[in-house]
Amino acid sequence: MVTIEQSKMIAVKGNNDYFLDLPLSRIIDFDGKKILLVHGHMEDVKYGLGKLQVEAFKNKVDICIFGHTHEAFYKNIEGVEFINPGALSGLKDKSYAVYESGRVSFINADWRTSVKKCFRLF
C-alpha cells in the first residue's frame, strides 16, 4: 500500500480525518504559482469566503484550493483564484477540477472512475 507521503499526492487534514497526521494547510509553489491548500472547515467556508480570503491575502498566494462544501466553485477575488474542486464521494454531484494553462475545468465524474484515473497519474 502506498502512503500519502510516498505518493505525489499532496493532502491536508479535513474535519473527518481524525487519525491522519496531516497539516491543516499547506502552501506550495507549483508551475510559477503560489498555492494555498486548505480543507476549509476551520475557515467556515460554508458561510462564505471571508476567513479564507484573509488567509489567502495574508500569505500572498495566487491560488487557494479548498473543499468542505463538496460543491464545485470558482471565483477570482482581487487577483486570487479560489477553487473548490467539489467531491468524488457523498450525496452531491461528483466532480474534480483540472487547472491547466491558467484555466480551471470542472469534470463531472463517478468517483470510482475518477480515482482510478487520478492514481494512474502517479
> Which sequence spans correspond to the domains of the chain?
25-86
**CATH number of this structure's domain 25-86:** 3.60.21.10
What are the residues facing 76 on neighbouring strands?
Answer: 81
SS3 119: helix
Q: What is the pLDDT of residue 120?
A: 63
Q: What is the pLDDT of residue 81?
A: 95
Q: What is the pLDDT of residue 1?
A: 47
User: What does the pLDDT look like over 7-36, one tens digit per residue?
Assistant: 577 777 777 777 888 888 899 998 889 999
* pTM tops 0.75: yes
The Cβ of residue 56 has, within 10 Å, a number of other Cβ atoms equal to: 25
User: What does the pLDDT look like over 58-90, one tens digit per residue?
Assistant: 999 999 998 887 888 999 999 999 999 888 777
Query: What are the backbone dihedrals phi and psi of residue 115, each rounded to the nearest 5 degrees, phi first?
Result: -65, -40
Distance CA 108, CA 111 (A): 9
